Amino acid sequence: MRELRQHSEVSNIELFYDLIFAYAISRITTVLHLVHHDTIPALYLVEFAVMVFMFWTVWTYQTVLVNRFFQENIQHSVFMLFDMFIVIVLSQSLTPNFASTQITFPGATSLLLFSIAVQYLIRSRHLTDPRQLKVAYGLARILIITSVIGAITIIPWAPYSVREVVYILSMIYANIAPIFMKDRLTAFPAMFEHLTERYSLFTLLLFGEAIIAVTEVVNVHHFDWLSIPFFLIIVSLFWVYFTIYQQGIDRHKRTAGIALINIHYFVFVGLDLIAAVVTLYLKHELIGWQFALLMTIGLWFFLGGSAMMLATYGSHRANEHWRLLFGNATCAAMVAGAVIWVCRDWQDIVMVLIALFLLGIAWWWNREVSRLSTNTAE
């Protein structure tokens, strides 16, 4: 149909839109840099996860919209530019004191979700296929409900903590509700090739932000050689992810893409968490035990998410061995955490060992993906 996306190539305005969101998520990461008594307070860690979740929800709904109902016209561009400006305003309002954003954060995210809901409804006017109409109306309904509840939480009808919980629950609803639409979404499947490319390109932007984190510990006047293993850590994670994306995933699957979408939240959080805590560790602002714990969590999210992506959308052989793939990712994260804990008093040894270990893991992933792909071809 003419009104739907006819090609898998990501448009320039989509890339522009993603740049704004990548910047916003980098702003959220600054919450992790507020260290007290050599540790990051648990509240800041929770706020980081929640704020990334909110931005990821908005970005995902916009991505699904252009994946299924793309229209390259002036109306589409105006809506995208409007949403981008709201994201810029929202990103600049972020502070470590989440309570101080009780108007701007739910207000801006509710406005963004309502804007996307309107776009779904506008697209639905040009649809004739009942399957497509059900998807457009269903997603628009979810967004309208979520945006209305979010807007209501701005009104001081209850203590802030109560309104905050209601707001978070509304966003959780926005992410859970599409699961109950799986039959509709599968009947009108995503253009999976575009969806995977969009998520991979956004992940690439987050890798760019991780490289910027490396530059924070590079000083040409007093060069710290530990920036080299830090760089190699990011390189190894890059190698893992894009090996799976380029060689392991069947990008022509007929699927709703729900698993791909949800898996990437953990990939995004894991990558940002790793980049942030390594920076703090090299600046001697984060003590060994919490660095070990957060690196373990970050690596588990990233490697485990990558493994599940391969198991879900890779070859049948990869799907059959998902427990092995996820188990290996879990073991790798735990081994890295154990190495950090045992060698916590020797920063040089920790960084070199972790860099070498992750490079080894990346090499293993490359070999494993190649083996699975070869077996499938045969």
**Final residue before a domain boundary, out of 159, 187, 215:** 187
Question: Does residue 218 surpass a pLDDT of 50?
Answer: yes
Do 272 and 342 belong to one domain? Answer: yes
Does residue 68 sit in the same domain as residue 144? yes
Residue 191, φ and ψ in degrees, nearest 5: -80, 95
Pair 20, 152 in one domain: yes
Report how far residue 120's alpha carbon sits from residue 116's, in angstroms, rounded to the nearest whole number: 6
Residues 31 and 165 in one domain: yes
Do 341 and 235 lie in one domain? The reply is: yes
Contacts of 159 by beta carbon, 8 Å cutoff, 6+ apart? none
Quote the number of domains for the chain: 2
Lowest-pLDDT choice from 183-187, 237-241, 297-301: 183-187
Q: Residue 370: its pLDDT value, please?
A: 81
Q: Is the pLDDT of residue 377 over 50?
A: no
Q: Are residues 56 and 123 in the same domain?
A: yes
- Domain presence at residue 200: no
138 and 230 together in one domain: no
**What's residue 369's pLDDT?**
85
DSSP string, 307-349: HHHHHHHS-HHHHHTHHHHHHHHHHHHHHHHHHHHHTTT-HHH
Decide if 197 is inside a domain.
no
- Please indicate, yes or no, whether residues 50 and 160 belong to a single structural domain of this protein: yes
End-of-domain residue from the set 187, 215, 233: 187
Q: What is the pLDDT of residue 126?
A: 80
Question: In this structure, are 128 and 236 located in the same domain?
Answer: no
pLDDT of 96 higher than 70:
no
Please check whether residues 176 and 263 belong to one and the same domain: no
pLDDT of residue 378: 47
Averaged pLDDT for residues 122-146:
89
Is position 193 within any domain?
A: no
116-130 residues labelled b (16+ CB within 10 A) or e (exposed): bbebbbbbbeebeee
Flag whether 3 is in a domain: no
Asked whether residue 215 is domain-assigned, the answer is: no
| Pair 81, 31 in one domain | yes
Task: Confirm if 260 and 290 have CB atoms less than 8 A apart.
Answer: no
Do 156 and 263 belong to one domain?
Answer: no
The pTM score is 0.89
In a domain, 72, yes or no: yes
pLDDT digits (tens, 9 = 90+) for 76-93: 788 888 998 988 888 877
Mean pLDDT estimate for the chain: 86
The answer to whether residue 370 sits within a structural domain is yes
Domain containing residue 156: 12-187
Point out the domain boundary residue: 160, 187, 214: 187
Question: Is there a domain that residue 84 lies in?
Answer: yes
